[in-house]
Structure 1
Amino acid sequence: MKQYTIKKYDQNDYVIWNDFVALAKNATFLFHRDFMEYHQDRFEDFSLLVFENEKLKAVLPANKKGNSVYSHQGLTYGGLVFSSKLKAEKVELILDEILSFFKENAIEAFHYKPIPTFYFPKGNEEMDFFLFQRGALPERKEMNLAVNLQLPLHVSKSKMKHFRRIENLDLDIIEEKDFQSFWDSILAPRLLEKFNAKPVHTKEEMALLKQKFPGNIRQYSVYQKDEIIAGITIFETENVVKSQYGATSEKGEQVRALDFLFINLLHKYKRKGKKFFDMGIVNEENESGYHSGLLQQKEELGCTVYNQDFYKIDIK
């Protein structure tokens, strides 16, 4: 008799899924179904629930593409979500049941991207070990830059010199109620101009997500004489603050308004007791694999590298 049973998520599981995620050892609000499903039209959901004697023990946010299953491609990070009471040997058993479920459903490969280690100080690397033991291979790495707010801040001397000068320019930092000014005046036009790209989220999607997660999603903007010149969109979790978007106008670049905002937010969230400030990845499709200017900029703000690993295991 199987110790665990696996089922695919459906809408009837909405409450039990969210209740479990709210109390899990290694979950953030990104795993709430309201966040996962704002872009459900773009992904074929293949999320799983793991039961032991009808009691939910773990969930796996995931989507299916072709004959492969991914730690959800619509999320920044993923992984098996479980309670702090679940011991490592049971995580191993659950992984084996999940791999068997994949095989029964003609899945040929599983692509796994765990949440960065600094999000959970109590640890969260059981699955990495057991996947490796079963033949999973590193598929790629991304350099994720973050500041450890539990240590003294080490912003570079040059940035601090400009910061002290900027403080006298009568710039105002505002926590916005909506995203329209930042998206329309700064983020969208600058991404189009610099990278011929659009933000992953539309301003309407961000407004919907903020409505559902008002304590987790925030917009901070810098104004000079009532004109917005820079902004940072924040995703806030229990231990970590993540800058999801950051951009500045040409005028903002001249006065280094984005650095001014970052440094103020570093101090703000350090005072609030957050453990890390996540400034995201610096990877780029070039010979070196990263954007050197972006790496330097984030290091000068006090960031160090925490690798984001991606694994692939072939289902045999």
Structure 2
Amino acid sequence: MTMIQALRSAMDVMMERDPNVVIFGEDVGYFGGVFRCTEGLQAKYGKSRVFDAPISESGIVGAAVGMGAYGLRPVVEIQFADYVYPAFDQIVSEAARLRYRSNGDFTAPLTIRMPCGGGIYGGQTHSQSPEAVFTHVCGLRTVMPSNPYDAKGLLISAIENDDPVIFLEPKRLYNGPFDGHHDKPVVPWSKHPMGEVPEGYYTVPLTSASIFRPGKDVTVLAYGTMVWVSEAAANETGVDAEIIDLRSIWPLDLDAIVNSVKKTGRCVIVHEATRTSGFGAELMSLVQEHCFYHLEAPIERVTGWDTPYPHAQEWAYFPGPGRVGAALKRVTEA
């Protein structure tokens, strides 16, 4: 399966298993979503369970919070991650706090799906990576898969979870793997070849990272598209990098990170979002706190620029194998 097919399969499986699962958002019904992730689900489950919403992100998430408190399990789609900001108050002040402010009497079991990142020349309003914004909010879980197998298992886990989950989907990975340089699909996947996604029910924990590529020279911490970029950089430089795919950005699998960095003694962090106050800063702090006496070189970050998203310079903006490879060489030669 492609990631789109895997995500659709996850929603299909859960709608069949649980009549309380509902899906809604802008154009997700008859049209099947702008990226076709929900294609065919309205025809199969009806307009009362898969339906379109007005262009009101605050209304979409606010309604989902109420549905969740009432006993449903809504899965809402924000058409692009860039559009989520009008709904931020509903996410932070209502969804994230409902369990705590009600002393457990109510929960907000909603999943907020949104395509993120660049690769489609969408410019400033269709290409942002806002994951760090959500990791700062207590009560939210933040997830970003890098491959179809994980995407399906993580989405099923998110839908079953009783707390709100921010589910970020890298657009560059929607239609297949790529070589780390371009959005042209290539096969096979290093870890999960296309097609090796079970059709039925399975889960991937929302609390565990995976060792995407074992190695002994340097630990690379990445998620989403940057996992593949990091693999391309390691292959091209010949650096024996161990790539940790975080998958669940928060809560974080700190044990996997610490064990890897203690083994390699070096760490490079890669993410597509802007550098300042990006999630890489938190990762650097944690590695420093837990692995200081094992480090053989300074921790490096490879990130997007501290600028508004440049439409015409998109492929220079986010990290590519060249920038990541240079960082790998610096830390291994230090």
TM-score (norm 1): 0.29
Q: Which has the higher strand share?
A: 1
TM-score (norm 2): 0.28
Structure with greater contact order relative to length (CA < 8 Å, sep ≥ 6) = 1
